[in-house]
Amino acid sequence: MTIEARNIVKQFGAFRALDDVDLRVEGGELVALLGPSGSGKTTLLRIIAGLDWPDAGEVLFNGESALERGAGERNVGFVFQHYALFRHMSVFENVAFGLRVQPRRLRRSEADIRKRVNDLLDLVQIDWLANRYPGQLSGGQRQRVALARALAIEPRILLLDEPFGALDAKVRKELRRWLRSLHDDIHVTSLFVTHDQEEALEVADRIVVMDKGKIEQIGTPEDVYDNPATAFVHGFIGESIMLPVEVGGGQVRFGPKVLDLESGGAASGPSRLFVRRHDMVLGPAGNGTLEGAVKRVRAFGPILRADVALPGGDGETMIEVDAPRDRALKPGDIVGLKPRRYRIFAAQA
């Protein structure tokens, strides 16, 4: 089942949560909506689920409009950020809920429901918790119940809102690998919201990066990481060093110094140079390199991490760079820095 959102606009009072958003998710894909809080990602998810309504735009499932149908008629499995398990029902009854509330003519027999629920509890590996209540479960177990409950109605689409947000780091890692392999088994079109780039990069087939109600970039994890489309994406995904530079006449200037870099397509004027930390190569100071004094050095496992102060246009800019462990680096050294890969974006107005 494909999901399409077209020109979605959603306004909360004076705040524009979604500003003309277009998105297409292919059948069987696992897509991450990634962005900082307030970027509109959860609102978009809720609109697709039918829990919120857009002010303008269309939502299509397999080319058919979904907006005419309420949440219960869209056949969407939704996993809530805080799971929203029914607190007065056992795990078994939670999972069975969606099957029990079906219209009488569609409802399965009690025996069928029992079988289906038990199969699902097996699938999410918590069959031994069937008689417990949500209050007696750990966060990871609740997450699995929420997932089983959402899958019980055989949804055509699975939507997950910050599925691992409330879990501790170790459980989170384990559970997201498990979710990935579960998706590979059942292949239901899935869309999940996260603010954690590592999660998105590891789990998703494609990533949708959002900021301030707009989509900044859509692409595979490699694509988004290696070829960020905008300054925001470069700054948000992966660790980046950002330097204010001046582009003019095909040259790139940092303060008074002309750097040995191509300006690419960047327009003349104040710009921003983005470099991944591991792409910043430490070497001797020389023509066309950035130049600065080492302020502090610390060992960081197999590498050294150094704070380097770059005398720029207006005062010093402090950046953090990596160096091999065996390099003798000490505070006071003057070093040169040359970006191996970089991107230049126009400075924001």
Partner 1 sequence: MSLATQPRALPPTLRAMADARTEPAAVRVLIIGLAVTFLTVFIFLPLLVVFSGALARGIGVYLAALAEPEAQSAIRLTVLVAAISVGINLVFGVIAAWAIAKFEFHGKTLLITLIDLPFSVSPVISGLIFVLLFGAQGVLGPWLMGHDVQIIFAVPGIALATTFVTFPFVARELIPLMQEQGTQEEEAALSLGASGLRTFFRVTLPNIKWGVLYGVLLCNARAMGEFGAVSVVSGHIRGETNTMPLLVEILYNEYQFVASFAVASLLALLALVTLVLKTALEGHLQGSRDHDH
Residues that bind partner 1 (CB under 8 A): 49-51, 70-74, 76-78, 80, 82-88, 97-98, 101-102, 134-135, 149-150, 152-153, 166
- Taking a C-beta distance cutoff of 8 angstroms, is the pair 319, 242 a contact? no
Nearer to partner 1, 150 or 188 (CB): 150
C-alpha 91: how far from chain center: 30
CB of 32 to partner 1, least distance (A): 20
Closer CB to partner 1, 12 or 300, in the complex: 12
Contact of 217 with 229, CB cutoff 8 Å: yes
C-alpha dihedral, 128 to 133 to 136 to 140, nearest 10°? 60
Q: Which among 247, 252, 218 is positioned nearest to 233, based on CA atoms?
A: 218
In angstroms, rounded to a whole number, what is the distance separating the alpha carbons of residues 74 and 72?
6
Nearer to partner 1, 49 or 179 (CB): 49
Shortest reach from residue 339's CB to partner 1, in Å: 46
Per-position DSSP letters for 239-262, written without gaps between them = -EEEEEEEEETTEEEETTEEES--
Nearest distance from residue 99's CB to partner 1, in Å?
A: 9
Q: Cβ of residue 28: shortest distance to partner 1, in angstroms?
A: 21
SS3 helix, strand, coil % of the chain, rounded to 5? 30, 35, 35
Maximum C-alpha span of the chain = 80
Looking at the Cβ atoms of 67 and 153, the one nearer to partner 1 is: 153
**Do 30 and 7 touch, CB atoms closer than 8 A?**
no
Tokens of 319: 């950046």
Q: Which is nearer to partner 1, 27 or 70 (CB)?
A: 70
CB of 119 to partner 1, least distance (A): 17
Shortest separation between residue 70's beta carbon and partner 1, angstroms: 7
| Closer Cβ to partner 1, 65 or 138, answer by number | 138
